[in-house]
Amino acid sequence: MSNRTPLARRVMVALLMVLLTACQTWRPTFASPQQLIPMEQPSSVRITLRSGARVTLQNPTMSNDSIFGVTDAGAVGVASEDLGLLEVQRLHVLRSIGFGYLVLAGALGVVAYIGCALGATCEL
């Protein structure tokens, strides 16, 4: 008995993995951080400071008037008075659907090419 996975199953798993990642975009929010973070509990927020610097915080939390989270450099806190713009990652539905169609068309093209290469009748 062979433990090899059929090519079709591998392709389907790869397609599902790509499609399930979806396209995300940063969207500005005008709600106060004191309301937004406890209610929505976003996995990450991007903060533009008044100085112009950008900081992306993972797992943000609010404490008093400061936003705390984790960056690549470690734990960081940002005071609300230093906040210029607060952005939250959101699903971009149209981009996700378009990307899904593009991946599907590419996969069908590869399957058709393999079918033609293996001797199936191909008419152009």
Say whether 24 sits in a helix, a strand or coil.
strand
pLDDT reported for residue 1: 45
61/111 same-domain check: no
Measured CA angle at 38 (ends 37, 44), to 5 deg: 35
pLDDT reported for residue 123: 62
In a domain, 96, yes or no: yes
31/81 same-domain check: yes
The two tokens of residue 117 are: 């290469």
In a domain, 60, yes or no: yes
In a domain, 103, yes or no: yes
In a domain, 123, yes or no: no
Q: Decide: 54 and 47 in contact? Cβ < 8 Å.
A: yes
pLDDT tens per residue across all 124 residues of the chain: 455 567 777 777 776 666 666 677 788 888 888 888 888 888 889 999 999 999 999 999 998 889 999 998 899 999 988 988 999 987 667 776 777 778 788 878 887 787 777 765 666 5
Q: Decide: 29 and 86 in contact? Cβ < 8 Å.
A: yes
81/32 same-domain check: yes
In a domain, 1, yes or no: no
pLDDT reported for residue 19: 61
pLDDT reported for residue 67: 93
Domain, as residue range, for 109: 7-23+92-118
